[in-house]
Structure 1
Amino acid sequence: MSIVFNVSLFSVFMFTLLNPVYAQIETQKLPDTGQSVQYDVKGKPLSISNSSLYTGQDASIEGNSLSYKDNEDGTVTDLNTGLMWQKSHDTTKRNLADSIKVINNMTLGGYDDWRLPTIKELYSLANCDGQLMKPESGQESRPYLDTAYFDFNYDKRIPFAGAFWSSTVYNKSAVQNFTAHGGLQGGFGFNFADGHIKSYETGLFFDQTTIQKSDHMFVPGNFVRAVRNTTTLYDMDYIDNNNGTITDQSTGLMWAKNDSGQQMDWVKALAFADNALLAGYSDWR
């Protein structure tokens, strides 16, 4: 699986390939991103015949296709990860603590062990064929989610407001130069409206003190989509192969141990991976 972010054409590049030896996980598979369209550096769709300069794009790599089962009880099972998800979502935006309370009291499909997903679990639902269109374009937006299985509606007033909480939090004090109460607590979320992973104020400081109106901080709140079951795909169980590569036993992916050592634009990065022969393998990407 590869991920394309339309943020910058420049990055320090690391590359990966599927490890053919890895076969321990039969029921849990790393989902693909769902992206089926190739693009040029200006964001314009490419026909296959014009994509030779962009070999190795996400859309050209065959992975584990997004695959779900509607359980007909308000839940959806991801057939790759084994995670069970809430089909619809509460349309009320809440801070993180209140969202967790709602989930802890939730019974759905006969189960009461629902929880908030980690950011990696939440992002596993991302369908990167999504596209947020400007209202004046006259074109319909596509959520970054498989709406054949999951419910999602754009807010016509604020079409980009579609963020969902994860349980993954961190201290934002270093970012915002804020040290009171141990720093500001941020929580990662994924926006199914525009495809962004971002950090949001949870409503708490890092010492669990509640943010008050007198603190003059805006806590917008997010939606939640609950999950149950667990997966080992994100355990990050690494082995050093002592040949310049690292194998992640959780996902079956093999990675270059070192990055490229130099910055390059996206097209050169694609070519760099495609031409790599690290450790005797020729299918790097």
Structure 2
Amino acid sequence: MNKLAWVLTLILTPIYALANYQPCKIGLITETTPSSQFTDNQDGTVTDLKTKLIWKKCAEGQRWEASSNSCLVGDGTVIQYNWREALELANTTNSSGGFAGSVNWRLPNIKELSSIIENACYGPAINLSVFPSTPAGIFWSATPYIGGNEYAWSVRFNYGQNSMNYKYDYYFARLVRDPN
């Protein structure tokens, strides 16, 4: 049995490492969201010292684990939402007691969401030390697209690009709040 465990460890360790690999060009490209720009509030939130916004460290559907200061996924998937559902997440969070002692959470606008893009990294284009386990995917903003009622702005954290998406498509969400 020990042999089997050893073989599985040898096989799965490189796969796990590859799955958590995030290419970054720190030094070649100036960091846009260095860790020093954020204060970890030790309650599942971080404060951006530049914008003064307070962000949930984890994407919606992930669970913040205080003992490891990390974001965990219950069943292996982060929940995705259509735009209307993403907007309602904040109301649901706030009406059910809030998070980290606050009940003023909301979906960020496109400017705010774009402010946490890390241009020196991709796959995902975000500082994983500040926002651990962030999926390399599309995240909704609260900003509707002026050119058509059926679209809203989002950030593609795969490569750190803004895009407009059909409001009925399903993507990730992260909540933010203003300081008291």
TM-score bracket, shorter-length normalisation: 0.5 to 0.7
Q: CA deviation at 1:63?
A: 8.3
Unaligned runs of 5+ in 2: 1-24, 61-77
* 1:137-183 C-alpha deviation (Å, 9 max, x unpaired): xxxxxx211111112344xxxxxx6111111112444xxxxxxxxxx
* TM-score between both structures, scaled by the size of structure 2: 0.66
The one of 164, 167, 173 aligned to 2:142: 167
Larger radius of gyration: 1
Q: What's the counterpart of residue 97 of structure 1?
A: 84
CA RMSD of aligned residues (A): 2.4
**1:70 Cα deviation after fit:** 1.0
Are residues 199 and 64 of structure 1, via their aligned partners in 2, closer, same or farther at CA, if it must alter by over 3 Å? closer
May I ask how many residue pairs the two structures share in their alignment?
133
Cα-to-partner distance string for 1:37-84 (whole Å, 9 max, x where unaligned): 15xxxxxxxxxxxxxxxxxxxx4xx98956111111111111111100
Spell out structure 1 runs of 4+ moving beyond 6 A.
none
Over the matched positions of the two proteins, sequence identity in percent amounts to 31
Please show how residues 33-182 of structure 1 align to structure 2 within 5 Å.
36-37=27-28, 59=30, 67-90=37-60, 91-106=78-93, 107-132=98-123, 143-154=124-135, 162-173=137-148
The structure richer in helix per residue is 2
1:193 aligns with 158
Distance 1:123 1:36, change over 3 A: farther
Q: 1:153 and 1:168, CA in 2 relative to 1: closer, same or farther beyond 3 A?
A: closer
Q: Which residue of 2 aligns with 1:223?
A: 172
| Whole-angstrom distance in 2 between the partners of 1:74 and 1:63 | 22
Deviation track 1:220-263 (CA, whole Å, cap 9, x = no partner) reads x1111100006xxxxxxxxxxxxxxxxxxxxxxxxxxxxxxxxx
**Cα distance, 1:169–1:85 mapped onto 2, change above 3 Å:** same
Q: Which letter does structure 1 place at the counterpart of 2:48?
A: D
CA offset digits 1:71-118 (Å, max 9, x no partner): 111111111111000110122111111111122121110101000111
Partner of 2:122, secondary structure, is coil
**2:3 corresponds to:** none
Question: Are 2:33 and 2:117, in contact at CA under 8 Å, matched by a contact in 1?
Answer: no
Q: 1:149 to 1:63 in 2, by over 3 A?
A: closer
One-letter code of the match for 2:161? Answer: H
What are the ranges of 5 or more consecutive residues in structure 1 without an aligned counterpart? 1-33, 39-58, 133-142, 155-160, 174-183, 204-218, 231-285
